[in-house]
Structure 1
């Protein structure tokens, strides 16, 4: 997400040892849009990135907290909010599936709902 928004990774170095040092000891700078005509990062987006880039695994966002983060709620808000929230629910279920059979079932259920116009 950070690199897609800014066009560069949160940490960079030509040297692997220096890169490792940066990852372990530095906080990434807030992302700046790669295209200056684009808006700045929202506070929700910055908060999401902070949660994902936490060095301490105990403080890092869990899958559940990631999927419930306020950034996604605002990102999916709009005229087609209902189907977007269904997509988010499908994503949650996909994260919880235990294997290929569960994934196949989830996909079939989603296709069935689409065919019915939901």
Structure 2
């Protein structure tokens, strides 16, 4: 377990490398892949609800461009690609290592698929 591929249908894909800051959260998401959802936007953040709840593990109130996180109050997978900060604390699970340029072109309702990455 170390990569998650994030496919934005018709627009491209990105790879996120899982880190060790919130290993339980990352493992629980990774083991449920593949997952599919419709994109929602908030500033420089693409997010979407996942069909399960997780609890806070080591939540952080801030993010940097490229961070991939899970927001427990909304059961949302979050991809930060600019200066937007989380609405409230998130469980950081990794960083985009390639393809971050796909996210500024994402529109509300775009189909997103999360799957285990190769590399």
Length-normalised TM-score, structure 2: 0.24
* Larger strand fraction of residues: 2
Please identify the structure whose Cα radius of gyration is greater: 1
Give the structure, 1 or 2, with the largest relative contact order (CA under 8 Å, sep 6 or more): 2
Length-normalised TM-score, structure 1: 0.24
* Larger helix fraction of residues: 1
